[in-house]
A and B are shown apart, each in its own frame.
Chain A
Amino acid sequence: MLERIPSVIDVLVPQASTYAGDIDGLFTIILVSVGIWFFASEIVFFWLIFRFRKKDGVRAQYVSGEKQSEKKWVTYPHLAILLFDVLIVVAAVRVWYDIKQDLPPAERTVRVIGQQWAWTFVHPGPDGEIDTADDIAKVNELHVEVDRLHHYKLESKDVLHNFSVPVFRLKQDAIPGRVITGWFTPTKTGEWDVQCAEICGVGHGLMGARIHIETAEQHAAWMAQESPLQLAANAAQKQEEE
């Protein structure tokens, strides 16, 4: 539902996951709610300054804020802001549940390993399973298939990192000693940034990688080319030729 709310964020960073629109919608709700109250309070503030400016023969008045007629200037906006807060919280909890609490069944699983200062991505090979002989491990290069629900299993070899894919609107801390499972479904083909979003040492700013979102055909071709079994077969053939 939230993804239908127009957003300005995707002008700068495209949305490339099923939930990117929900996150952007949430930002829009917060921006509009806070924006309305920002402008309302500034208008009232400057109007009061102008209305009760210094005038000849008029003494300044001390307002203690105890009378009902004075208190309402604080109470009514306060209640209205609480109402807006409830709106934001309800929307945020729905989005949080969908992205972080709920874990739809995976069509593919990739292992994401952070370390100072690189990402290693272990992709399933042609057998579709990870932790088997045909896994494809790549440094700073993640290949996924568009419109497939992926689980990621996130680990860290050393310190805190954060697996951040801006086009997915995804950020997840990696914590040494834990394997954190999450999900995403890419919706747009192309090559985009992956970054670390948790200060992890002197090389943090250089800990960038690329995600390649491919069509089924492109992904199958990449897998066939990079599969360790295929690479071994190629090497054996080359040796034979020599």
Chain B
Amino acid sequence: MAAITKVWRTALVALGLVALAGAAAAQQSTPPGAELYELCAQCHGERGEGNQVVLAPAIAGLQEWYVVAQVRNFKGGLRGTHPADVAGLRMHPMALALETDEELKAVSAYVASLPPVYPEPTVEGGDAERGAQLYGTCVACHGPDGAGNEALGSPRLYQANDWYLLSSLQRYKNGVRASNPANANAQVMLGIAGTLADEQAMKDVVAYIMSLRK
């Protein structure tokens, strides 16, 4: 009887050690980006699903180059420094919390590695058919399928929240998201958003972009 107990005890200790070793190995293989992402998760959610209440869009699975570029913009004051940019002003200090470019790249890689969530549309009143015509202006950079073009710095569109696309167009048009002339891509969008006559036109084009999801 005592011998059996001893065997069991040894087996349990061995199992515990294996589990500990496994946990330690898992700890080591965890990318530092996941740890850094804990700060982002406060608003963007653990899965990068976003939270409209705090104006945080879904970011899971965005193109890595785009995330790197935008976080660098926030950090360098090229984006998120206009007094009326409520959401951008939140991101500026958050980007400053990433002390090195390695940290910035690591967290961006982690964001890009998260499975995309394709948030449900929430903006009402958009006409995708009318939007298809208006989208003709966007094709040159974002492509006919909205997949984006890294060479031009144009991100994939159909993955974003529709409310975020709408608010971005509004902020481009009134100069809030293109307030720094040094942000060349934003300056392009300032001109493009200016061609959309009103909010209805913006909703239409956003509705069309949402229809591009496969």
Name the residue among A116, A120, A140 with the largest chain B CB count within 10 angstroms: A116
Bound-complex Cα distance A115 to B89 (A): 8
| Per-residue interface assignment for chain B, residues 69 to 104, with 1 indicating a CB less than 8 Å from any chain A CB and 0 otherwise | 000000000000111001001101110110000000
Q: Which residues of A contact B82 (CB under 8 A)?
A: 139
Residue pair B83, A116 in contact (C-beta under 8 Å): no
Complex alpha-carbon distance, A16 and B143, angstroms: 57
Stretch at the interface among A99-107, A182-190, A199-207: A199-207
> Does B42 sit within 8 A of A, measured CB to CB?
yes
The distance in angstroms between the C-alpha atoms of A118 and B80, with both chains bound, is 10
- Nearest B residue to A203 via CB reads B93
Q: Does A117 contact B (CB under 8 A)?
A: yes
In the complex, what residue of chain A is closest to B97 when comparing beta carbons?
A: A206
CB distance from B92 to the nearest CB of A (A): 7
Residues of A within 8 A of B81 (CB): 139-140
B39 at the interface (CB under 8 A from A): yes
Select one of A115, A138, A202, A206 contacting B96, CB under 8 A: A206
Q: Is the CB of B86 within 8 A of A137?
A: no
* Chain A residue contacts of B39, Cβ below 8 A: 202
Do most interface residues of chain B lie in helix, strand or loop, or is the interface mixed? helix
CA distance A122 to B97 in the complex (A): 26
In the complex, are the beta carbons of B42 and A115 less than 8 A apart? no
Chain A: which residue is nearest B87 at the CB level?
A116
Tell me whether A78 is interfacial, beta carbon within 8 Å: no
Chain A interface residue count, Cβ-Cβ cutoff 8 angstroms: 16
Picked from B42, B43, B86, B93, the residue with its CB within 8 Å of the CB of A207 is B93
Residues on the A chain within 8 Å of B90, using CB: 116-118, 203
Which A102-155 residues sit within 8 Å CB-CB of chain B?
113, 115-118, 120, 122, 137-140
Binary interface profile of B, 39-52, with partner A (CB < 8 Å = 1, else 0)? 10011000000000
- A157 CB-CB contact with B under 8 Å: yes
A118 touches B42 (CB 8 A): no
Which A residue sits closest to B55, measured CB to CB? A116
Across the two chains, which residue of chain A brings its CB closest to B81? A139
A140 contacts across to B, CB distance below 8 A: 81
In the assembled complex, the Cα of A120 lies from the Cα of B43 at a distance in Å of 22
A72 shortest CB reach to chain B, Å? 58
Query: Which residue of B39, B82, B92 has the most chain A CB atoms within 10 A of its CB atom?
Result: B92
Chain B residues near A120 (CB, 8 Å)?
Answer: 83
Given A202-B39, A202-B42, A157 and B86 contact (CB-CB distance below 8 Å): yes
Partner among B43, B83, B94 whose Cβ is within 8 Å of the Cβ of A139: B83
- B178 smallest CB distance to A (angstroms): 14
A117 touches B97 (CB 8 A): no
Cβ–Cβ contact B86 & A203, under 8 A: no
Q: Which A residues touch B94, using CB under 8 A?
A: 117, 202-203, 206
* Nearest CB of B to A194, in Å: 14
Give the CA-CA distance A7 to B83 in the complex, in Å.
Answer: 38
Residues of A within 8 A of B97 (CB): 203, 206
CA distance A221 to B90 in the complex (A): 31
Query: For residue A207, which residues in chain B have a CB less than 8 angstroms away from its CB?
Result: 93
A38 to chain B, nearest CB (A): 40
Interface centre among B82, B92, B93, B96 (most CB of A within 10 A): B93
A202 to B43, CA, bound (A): 9
Q: Which of B83, B93, B96 contacts A137 (CB 8 A)?
A: B83
- Name, among B43, B89, B96, the residue most crowded by chain A CB atoms within 10 Å (CB to CB): B89
Tell me, rounded to whole Å, the shortest Cβ–Cβ distance linking A210 to chain B: 13
Per-position contact with A for B119-142: 1 when CB-CB < 8 Å, else 0? 000000000000000000000000
The 8 closest A-B pairs by CB, nearest first: A206-B93, A118-B89, A120-B83, A203-B93, A137-B83, A117-B93, A202-B42, A139-B81
Residue pairs across A and B with Cβ atoms less than 8 A apart, 9 shown, are: A115-B86, A117-B92, A117-B94, A139-B89, A202-B42, A202-B43, A206-B93, A206-B94, A206-B97
Residues of A within 8 A of B (CB): 113, 115-118, 120, 122, 137-140, 157, 202-203, 206-207
16 other contacts beyond A117-B94, A139-B81, with CB at 8 A cut-off?
A116-B89, A116-B90, A117-B89, A117-B92, A117-B93, A118-B89, A118-B90, A137-B83, A138-B83, A202-B42, A202-B43, A203-B93, A203-B97, A206-B96, A206-B97, A207-B93
